[in-house]
Structures are given as C-alpha cells and as structure tokens.
C-alpha cells in the first residue's frame, strides 16, 4: 500500500471515531427539520469539552422556508438559566451555508465552539439555534456536554 494512501485511510478512520452523531433534543425548530448533529471530537456522550480547545459542530438540516440570511444564537443552560455562549462567527451564511437559503433543500451548518480556559468545570446543556430572516428557528437543538 502506498504510504500516502495509508495516511489518508488513517485520518479517515480517526475522523469516523471522533465525529459520532450526537443525541440531541429538538427545542423548537419551526423553519427547518434537523437530520443529524455531529461534534468533533466527541468519542463518547455527553461530549467532554476540554478547556482551551475548540470543537467543530455540524448540523445537517432541511429548510422549509426561504431566507436571505441566518443567525446563530448559542446558550449554555445551567440550573435552568440560559447563559449566552459566544461563538466566533454567528452568521450562518459564513458557516457552511450558501445563502440565500431555499426551502426543500438540505444544508450543513458548520461552526466552531471554543471552550475558554476561564469556563468552570461543569455539566450543562448547550442550546444552539439558527434563526431565519423572521428570527424563527431553522433549527433549535439541545445537547448535554461536560466542560473539563
């Protein structure tokens, strides 16, 4: 086997073991339907997010509306209280989605979730929304994580 091919196969296998579909709860997707959620790396659930590292979040969804733009809003839910969780890019059109969004098409939203070193070590639920032009949710998902 060519050594370059072996390296490609190795990276593919590593990618498959790290990017597992994540169990999530739909929390009010009105303008779309979520097909799958992946967090990389997340070899087990709840995903353990290490301080000082960044994680890739990929949400595959079908849109049921047309929208010229999309905006991501992320919260950490701690003791039933939503706390804003800043992400580097909140524009969905700059996160893997080619805008304008068209109804009846499937999209892959891809974003980076940085975990700051000053975050406390805690178990929480992440609520991730992607809103359309009318601020209705193209998707709204919740999934448990543990910051370590």
Reported pTM:
0.85
The count of other CB atoms within 10 Å of the CB of residue 109 is: 23
Q: Which residue has the higher pLDDT, 15 or 30?
A: 30
What are the two backbone dihedrals, phi and then psi, of residue 30, each rounded to the nearest 5 degrees? -105, -40
- CA 7 – CA 99 distance, rounded (Å): 35
Share of the chain above pLDDT 70, in %: 87
- CA 137 – CA 128 distance, rounded (Å): 10
CATH number at residue 115: 2.60.40.770
pLDDT grade, residue 16 (50/70/90)? Answer: very low
β-bridge mates for residue 107, sequence order: 61
- CA 17 – CA 50 distance, rounded (Å): 18
Give the Cα-Cα-Cα angle 96, 45, 94 (nearest 5 degrees): 10
Q: Residue 9: what pLDDT? A: 36
The residue-averaged pLDDT of 8-31 equals: 67
Q: How many distinct structural domains can be found in the chain? A: 1
The residue-averaged pLDDT of 118-123 equals: 94
110 is in which domain, residue-wise?
3-147
- CA 34 – CA 53 distance, rounded (Å): 26
Share of the chain above pLDDT 90, in %: 84
Contact 139, 105 (CB under 8 A): no
List, for residues 59-108, the tens digit of each pLDDT value: 999 999 999 999 999 999 999 999 998 899 999 999 999 999 999 999 99
The residue-averaged pLDDT of 110-115 equals: 94
Distances (CA, A) of 7 to 12, 13, 15: 9, 10, 12
The count of other CB atoms within 10 Å of the CB of residue 77 is: 16
Q: Residue 86: what pLDDT? A: 87
């Amino acid at each position: 086997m060519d050594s370059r091919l072996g390296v490609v196969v190795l990276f593919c296998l590593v990618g498959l073991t790290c990017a597992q579909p994540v169990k999530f709860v739909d929390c009010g997707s009105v303008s779309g339907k979520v097909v799958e959620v992946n967090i990389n790396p997340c070899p087990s659930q709840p995903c353990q997010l290490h301080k000082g590292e960044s994680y890739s979040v990929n949400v595959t969804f079908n849109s049921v509306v047309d929208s010229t733009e999309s905006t991501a809003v992320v919260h950490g839910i701690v003791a039933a209280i939503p706390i804003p969780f800043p992400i580097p890019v909140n524009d969905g059109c700059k996160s893997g989605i080619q805008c304008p969004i068209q109804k009846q098409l499937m999209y892959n939203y891809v974003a980076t979730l940085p975990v700051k070193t000053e975050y406390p070590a805690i178990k929480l639920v992440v609520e991730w929304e992607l809103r359309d032009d009318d601020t209705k949710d193209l998707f709204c998902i919740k999934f448990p994580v543990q910051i370590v």
